Structure 1
């Protein structure tokens, strides 16, 4: 980001930074205002929601308490109890008919007195009773039902509530909430408990809850096990109970939060004193804050309008600030193209005016320096051309002088005549000697060419060694190892004979034993198009002392002549350095008393390739 800002133009920086600051400020301000407005809406809703839920809880407690009172009144009614005891103690037809009538009448009063009651049913060990309004489900057996099983498992409870289910006692299969009371009858001691089942209408509870739906998105009643009794389905009721547990306050309405399907809800809960059921009221934040949607849109529109107005004003101000800088930038671009005569005139004395004056002064100085530089360059060119010409003539003269040390044309013709005369008279050794010397001088001449093939150079040094072999006899032996593929490579002429001569006179001649000279050539690959030709002349002579070897190699590396005795090898080294460059030349290796090796390094140039002489 920092690099991005640094690369922006000054005008763009002003627009970007100030615009960004304004936009962030306006956005943060709008969000903050919306946040506080949302908090106020939520706070007001919570206050009202607690009141509504408390009112609803009181209503349901009142209705359920009325049912409870009617049930208690029934099981404690003297007439009802006497009729039932008479029948149970003497279960004949007469008493049963009377008991059925009395029970039907009492149950009918129980159901008609409270619209919340759906149906009722009495079970005794001598038979069951109903009000004969609904059609019985004769497959229902109380002793095998979950009602009876629940009392067997939790016998201490006189009253038990069961979760919402389909009606099992009657055939209409409505959704009901069973309420069972276990009771005893004074005067009947031969049997066990009797049971009164009162089933509440789930639809009536839903109707009561729906009256408060305008305040909540969802309302539901849940028992202590988290089982839904009435209200909205599709809600994780067990999770609701877990959420509400930490905020229970002696049964009063409490609030918490709940999330389902990525929707956040405000949850309010209260507990029914009559049954211990929990009532939950849910309101999604989205629906609660829906009234603020128009405010959010208004804030966004206002922010955009203010931002655009500020941007236009900022654009006008930045244009006035950067117009002069833009013109100066254009002048600089012209100068960058090489025109130093352009100038920038600005009438005011502010920072831009100071910059303009500095710019003009700089151009004046540059123009003066450029003119002076041009004059200096021309003078340097003239001096360089003069020095180059002098050096060229000097090196040509040196090269000619080095090559002119041997100019044996007349000797070559004379030796040819001697060779023929010796052959005619049978003087074979003289013939070989003169023939070798003739080849030696012929190659030395080489028709005036500076560069010859490696084959000719090998032939030249071979002629020399043949002559020396006749002179020294068995004391001098030699061999030459050069691959035929290297024979046509081009080399400077007269570079091997001085090395062979140096091996003889400074190595083998002073040694008592027979001497060997070994000449070898090889191609060394450096990289593509930059191969080297390396030629070595090895002898098993006296060798060179370590200090002397260092001096010789130092002189060779620096183009110096070490002594008159070594003039030949320094001559060869200097010719190579002058012709090919200072990276080429001669190097010596030696072990005193054992051997000496002279190593020539040349560029690998095949026949037909052009060789550029360095002057």
Structure 2
């Protein structure tokens, strides 16, 4: 859709300044012609050109360049590419614009916005509509009855489901230990095994010599489960034969890297580029339910929550080969919980 240029104040100011500069140059040109013909006032003509050049340099340095920087930051923000540039501008367009940007930054830093991506829609629905204690008590009652009837497999599944929901629904902390997150994944795996049976297998790999240290690192709650679920339903479920899920945990001097791999159907290069493009953008469009799509939305939600909490240098990247499998690489800062219950890098 073509925009009307003169609808915007910036276009009007630009054309007005350009017109004034053109008029001044025409005046200088006429004055120069007279001075050359009469061979006098040349010093004044040179002073006029010097004044014009100085004014142009000041205009470019103090007005035009800061304006272009602000416009570029706003354009990138609107396309979802970055948010940091919006908050780091040295020169604001106006006091009102500075206040508006500050207000956006305050909203971005609130727990309310972070929690918008904390859980998938189904978890939020459960949290809003089901009394957690009623759910736990009902599941415990079912488990007790099945144990009495000798149905140990059903009792085991019910226990896993109860523990999974307790972890998913309860608590308000943004960060949990890797040990707790993996325990939730194992409960989720137990539940899925009752559906897929021997077709589904999970392995977790890490340096056993540093297990206690690795398990104490923290990450956003419900980081792994949506990605594991995505791997099962969009990858492994569609293949014939054994489905293998692998969670590999690596620690560098500054980062915690978790890779969730599957041997599912993978995806095309075009689809992979599309998802990685969305993962590279810092956008809030996913909060609008009308814009959600089934493919990849879980990964996008997790990625955006990581970036909101830790910064744009962290997040998710996907690698995939069609009919071979998919790797989802999660990069996080090294954060541990100290004895006082606070978090430190």
With normalisation by structure 2, the TM-score equals 0.62
Q: Does 1:573 align with 2:287?
A: no
Alignment match, 1:498: 226
* C-alpha distance in structure 1 between counterparts of 2:315 and 2:232, whole Å: 21
Within the candidate set 371, 384, 388, 2:98 is matched to 384
- Going from structure 1 to structure 2, the CA distance change for 1:421 and 1:387 (only over 3 Å counts) comes to farther
Q: How does 1:59-208 map to 2 (within 5 A)?
A: none
* C-alpha distance in structure 2 between counterparts of 1:604 and 1:574, whole Å: 18
Q: Does 1:403 align with 2:127?
A: no
Q: How does 1:285-364 map to 2 (within 5 A)?
A: none
Superposition misfits of 4+ residues, deviation over 4 angstroms: 377-383, 609-612
* C-alpha distance in structure 1 between counterparts of 2:92 and 2:240, whole Å: 66
Q: Does 1:591 align with 2:321?
A: yes
* C-alpha distance in structure 1 between counterparts of 2:94 and 2:137, whole Å: 52
8 Å contact kept, 2:118–2:302 = no
Alignment match, 1:559: 282
> 1:592 offset after TM fit, Å?
1.4
SS for the counterpart of 1:491 is strand
SS for the counterpart of 2:150 is coil
Alignment match, 2:271: 548
8 Å contact kept, 2:256–2:332 = yes
Q: Does 1:432 align with 2:156?
A: yes
Within the candidate set 493, 513, 519, 2:241 is matched to 513
Within the candidate set 115, 136, 142, 1:412 is matched to 136
* C-alpha distance in structure 1 between counterparts of 2:147 and 2:95, whole Å: 64
8 Å contact kept, 2:92–2:98 = no
Larger-gyration structure (1/2): 1
> 1:381 offset after TM fit, Å?
5.8
Q: Which has the higher contact order (CA 8 A, sep 6+)?
A: 2
> 1:505 offset after TM fit, Å?
0.8
> 1:605 offset after TM fit, Å?
0.7
Alignment match, 1:601: 331
> 1:427 offset after TM fit, Å?
1.5
8 Å contact kept, 2:243–2:262 = yes
Within the candidate set 81, 101, 107, 1:393 is matched to 107
Q: Deviations over 1:415-435 (max 9, x none)?
A: 233222222222212111111
8 Å contact kept, 2:117–2:302 = no
* C-alpha distance in structure 2 between counterparts of 1:606 and 1:397, whole Å: 23
> 1:383 offset after TM fit, Å?
4.6
> 1:443 offset after TM fit, Å?
1.6
* C-alpha distance in structure 2 between counterparts of 1:448 and 1:413, whole Å: 21
SS for the counterpart of 2:238 is coil
* C-alpha distance in structure 1 between counterparts of 2:100 and 2:305, whole Å: 24
SS for the counterpart of 1:402 is coil
Structure 2 unaligned residues grouped into runs of 5+? 1-61, 63-90, 287-291
> 1:523 offset after TM fit, Å?
0.3
Count of aligned residue pairs for this structure pair: 233
> 1:503 offset after TM fit, Å?
0.9
8 Å contact kept, 2:268–2:322 = yes
* C-alpha distance in structure 2 between counterparts of 1:494 and 1:378, whole Å: 38
With normalisation by structure 1, the TM-score equals 0.35
* C-alpha distance in structure 1 between counterparts of 2:94 and 2:342, whole Å: 32
- Going from structure 1 to structure 2, the CA distance change for 1:556 and 1:468 (only over 3 Å counts) comes to same
* C-alpha distance in structure 1 between counterparts of 2:237 and 2:92, whole Å: 60
Alignment match, 1:488: 216
Q: Deviations over 1:431-479 (max 9, x none)?
A: 1111111111122234221111000000111111110011111111111
